Amino acid sequence: MKTAAFFDIDGTLYREVFMKELFKRMIRSEIIKEEDWFTQVKPYYDKYDRRVGSYDDYLIKMANIYTLAIKGYHRSFIEHIIHNVVRDMGLRNYLFTRNRIKWHKNEGHKVLTISGSPIELVREMASLHDFDDYRGSIYPMDEKERYTGEVLPMWDGNSKQNAIFEFRDLYDIDLEASYAYGDTAGDFTMFKLVGHPVLVNPTRELVNLVLQDPEVRKKAEVAVERKDIIYHVKIDDLDID
């Protein structure tokens, strides 16, 4: 059986949130109205930025608006925007995660990404960083390759869990020997399934979930990167008050 490493992208590999950069480009292209950012998304961002709101709520709000905004647009138009975003921003990564991808590849492990970002973006990042395979949120299209305004999400725990099971069966993966890297509550189910969960700059919600689960808590590692320094922290030493 093979060892694998499962990586989230936003906040784990990429240092920001790709959906935020997509919003900027789509506002310029008049796909998303600028007022939608200020009236619908920014209040969630401001709450998170002041550390009184949920990071996950902020991400999901952006994803919901994105889903409706691309409805009726042809695949090629959206893919062109996404290609440019990844071209310009795709190497803005955490040093820790980039080094771990390199280490896993040198060890001969399967390197896989499971991300809540649109599948078109995840595909571009998988190519850029030489992942062996990928899963992302799917936005269905009609027979003319125009988006329908629906979404099959990959940002929630159940979807990521199912993706890991799919990869396990596809590549004959030993989950107990495998690794998972993530930063938000949606990554917790990945941590429950593998022998080596690693929290990368985790949110409070994710840390609380790990602390409440004795099995995950016992095996979890924490890496925090600030500027160009990487700190390895014991999860029991984290201050979440």
Place of tokens 């980039």: 98
Where is average pLDDT lowest: 16-20, 83-87, 237-241? 237-241
CA distance 45 to 47: 5
User: What is the per-residue pLDDT across 173-213, written as a single tens digit (0 to 9) for each?
Assistant: 999 999 999 999 999 999 999 999 999 999 989 999 999 99
Where is average pLDDT lowest: 38-42, 106-110, 149-153, 233-237? 38-42
Give the pLDDT of residue 46: 87
CA distance 217 to 108: 27
238 or 209, higher pLDDT: 209
User: 133: closest CA among 5, 1, 34?
Assistant: 5
User: 151: closest CA among 70, 39, 59?
Assistant: 70
What proportion of the chain, given as a percentage, has pLDDT over 70? 99
Give the pLDDT of residue 63: 86
| Predicted TM-score (pTM) above 0.75 | yes
The amino acid sitting at 92 is R
Domain ranges of the chain: 4-237
Pairing of strands 110-118, 196-200: unpaired
- What CATH number is given for 4-237 in this structure? 3.40.50.1000
Return the SS3 of 136.
strand
Give the pLDDT of residue 147: 96
Give the pLDDT of residue 222: 97
Give the pLDDT of residue 34: 84
Mean pLDDT over the full length of the chain? 92
User: What is the per-residue pLDDT across 17-75, written as a single tens digit (0 to 9) for each?
Assistant: 888 888 889 998 888 888 888 888 888 888 877 877 777 788 888 888 899 999 999 99
